[in-house]
Amino acid sequence: MLVVDDEPAVRLTLAAQLEAAGCSALSAADGADAMALLDRGEAVDLLITDLSMPGMDGLALIRAAQQSRPGLPAVLLTGCFSGHCAGPVPGESANGPFVLLRKPVPVGELVELAATLLERDLIP
């Protein structure tokens, strides 16, 4: 998994929690760093990114990452949310699926969602 967030405490905590739950996690501070990791060929099965970041926002990152790796599932995290939604909101970019979640997300819920996305054979 690749965790992208411009807030170091959030990024490092989430990556550590995912690793403690048995997942392998890379982290990047912004969209450019994330794309550099993907362009280098790092093994990434799922992208987890914050929506609001300077430079490339999370949705732009998902689009760029899925352009580079079609079908790469993604989770878009946001602290801002219009409307009332109790659970994940599925979305689709031109090259792959993503799910929108409102922060804070319990790591167990994120791990279950990741397993579901990966089990659905969304990667061609």
pLDDT digits (tens, 9 = 90+) for 46-67: 999 999 999 999 999 999 999 9
Specify the residue for token string 């899925």. 66
Per the domain annotation, does 26 fall within a domain? yes
- Can you give the CATH number for the domain in which 40 is found? 3.40.50.2300
Question: Could you tell me the residue range of the domain that residue 62 belongs to?
Answer: 2-119
pLDDT in tens, the chain (124 residues): 999 999 999 999 999 999 998 899 999 999 999 999 999 999 999 999 999 999 999 999 999 999 999 989 999 998 865 554 444 444 555 556 788 888 888 888 888 888 888 876 443 3
Strands 47-50 and 74-78: parallel
Q: How many Cβ atoms sit within 10 Å of the Cβ of residue 45?
A: 16
pTM: 0.84
How many structural domains does the chain have? 1
**Rounded to 5 degrees, what are φ and ψ at 51?**
-75, -50
